[in-house]
Each structure stands twice: as C-alpha cells, then as structure tokens.
Structure 1
C-alpha cells in the first residue's frame, strides 16, 4: 500500500500532491523547490537555490526514514541550462560514490519562478 510522506521541515505542497510517497521499498519525493521552510523565502542566487532544494529533498527523505545515500535516481529541472555548473557544484556535495543515476533538463518555467527543482527516488 502507498503511504504519503509529510514533514514541516520542507515546504508544503503548493497543489494537490504529497511531498513524497512510499511505495514498498521505494520512496519518491515530489519536486522540491528552493524555498526556505522557515521563512518561506526563495533565495535569488542559483547556488543557494540548489542548496535549499536539496535540503528540502533531504528533509522529505528523513521523514520517510531514508538518507541521501539511499537515493538511486534524481531528476533536476533547470529554468536555465547555463546554471548547470553552479547547480552541479552544490549537487556534488550531497552525494558520494556510487552516485545515483540522474537526468537534468531545462524547462520553460518552474513554479513560483524558481531556477531549480529537484526530485528523487530512494530505495530502503
């Protein structure tokens, strides 16, 4: 049976979806925006945005009893592919070898004008 994941350590959903979902051995996070869960503010700097998005991913995973080391797949959405090097630099500090599989795509726009959004799949 699927079980929703919810935590106040990451921003709440801005639509009709869960922050994450447990499905057997797998944990799926919804795309996490770079919003500070305390102040509800999104930084302008793309490196800070990447950090907040990954911290929010980490918080949702923690609510499911998982860590970043259990992540098997990530998807990174960028509003501007020119931000890839800066986002990649921050991203590299959250994962160790063996690195999870990853897709990174540029999109036309992200919710609330974000520069980055990140979702992951982890395995227990």
Structure 2
C-alpha cells in the first residue's frame, strides 16, 4: 500500500508525531485541526464562530493540498469541549458544505490541545 504524506504551509504545522494528512489510493485521512492561525501557530482571536471558521479554513487548506475540497469529505468528526456550541457548528458548517453532507459525529471532550474549544478531522474520497 502506497501512502503519500500531505503537507502545506497554508494550515498549521503538525505539533507532534503526525502528518497533516495521509493519502492512500483515493482516500485521504485529514488529521485533527484546531483553530490555530497557520502563520503564528496561535489560537485565533474571536468568538466560537471564529474558532469554528478557522478550523474549517485549516481543513480547506489540507484538502486542497491533497487535490480535493471539502465537498470530497465523506466523514467529519467534531470534538467540542462544550456541546452547547453544537448549533454554531451547524451554522458555520452550512457555509462550507452543500448537500450531500458528509456523515458526521460530534463528541464532547474534557480538553483539546492548546486549550482549543473545537477540533475536527475528516476522511475524503477523491474521484479518480
């Protein structure tokens, strides 16, 4: 099985022993993204909507570097330190996706890296 490492400076650099994404065949596994600004590696300023938007922008950058877009996402996982923010995820997500929407899970967690309030990872399938 051939694995291709996906790397872009348009998204935050990995802050551990992982890759931004791995492509195998026509499937791309996007690592979790938190609302880090790629140029500064600092959490974005602003409210929860701004944080969710930044996460989606980071996923957009990695998807593009992989040869795809968010429309190629078939599975999205959302991790929130406060599930009360879930309606905001739906609100902002509607600005980045159109039907058919990906399958999705939302999980409440106690903490995320760097004190983030939201993290998302995804699986994309690219057309051959």
Q: Normalising TM by the smaller chain, what interval?
A: over 0.9
Partner of 1:25: 26
> Scaled by the length of structure 1, what TM-score is found?
0.96
What is the number of residues matched between the two proteins?
124
**Match runs of 1:30-41 below 5 Å:** 30-41=31-42
- 1:44, distance to aligned residue in structure 2 (A): 4.4
> Scaled by the length of structure 2, what TM-score is found?
0.93
**Match runs of 1:93-104 below 5 Å:** 93-104=95-106
The CA deviation string for residues 59-112 of structure 1, in whole angstroms up to 9 with x for no partner, is: 001001101111111000001101111122111111100100000100110000
Query: Which runs of 5 or more structure 2 residues have no equivalent in the other structure?
Result: none
**Match runs of 1:3-82 below 5 Å:** 3-42=4-43, 43-82=45-84
Q: RMSD across aligned C-alpha pairs, in angstroms? A: 0.9
State the SS of the aligned residue for 1:57.
Answer: helix
